Amino acid sequence: MHIREISIKIDGIDKIILRALIKDARTPIKKISKLTGISGAAVHQRIKKLESSGVISGSNISLNPKVLGFKTVAFIGIYLDKAMRNREAVKQIEKIPEILECHYTTGNWSVFIKVLCKDNAHLMSVLNNQIQKIPGISRTETFISLDQQMSREISL
């Protein structure tokens, strides 16, 4: 994946719109219009511009994993036997639904992933029966999260 390096200029009104949407992606345009002092049509046009420029890349809902029975979050550093195996390893990693994120990194590991499981036994099964069986993975290091203490979007 190649990331285009573009710099987009956003003004104070765009920042107000973005802050409102970051706080709640379902904020009505009418409410944002009152916050910005511009018409609802102008807010709508600005949101469309922010979407088409790539500043806004989607809107998400947040699921509560604990309510759904997923209580174990782990981060796993993956060592590959050869760096050139990265692409094929990531293709296999993508097939494992418990893996939420996958990062190509510098440092000790070639790949660093975030995994969400129902419990430690589920994590062990995913690790032993799926992740460690991927061709090219030579070993892993697992870190279990005891508590997520913060999560946020980029500051504007």
Write the CA distances from 102 to 1, 43, 92, integer angstroms. 12, 35, 11
- pTM, entire model: 0.80
What are 88-101's pLDDT values in tens digits?
A: 999 999 999 999 99
Question: What band does 14 get if pLDDT is binned at 50, 70 and 90?
Answer: very high
pLDDT digits (tens, 9 = 90+) for 27-49: 999 999 999 999 999 999 999 99
Report residue 125: phi and psi, to 5°. -65, -45
Domains with residue ranges and CATH for the chain:
12-52 (1.10.10.10), 72-145 (3.30.70.920)
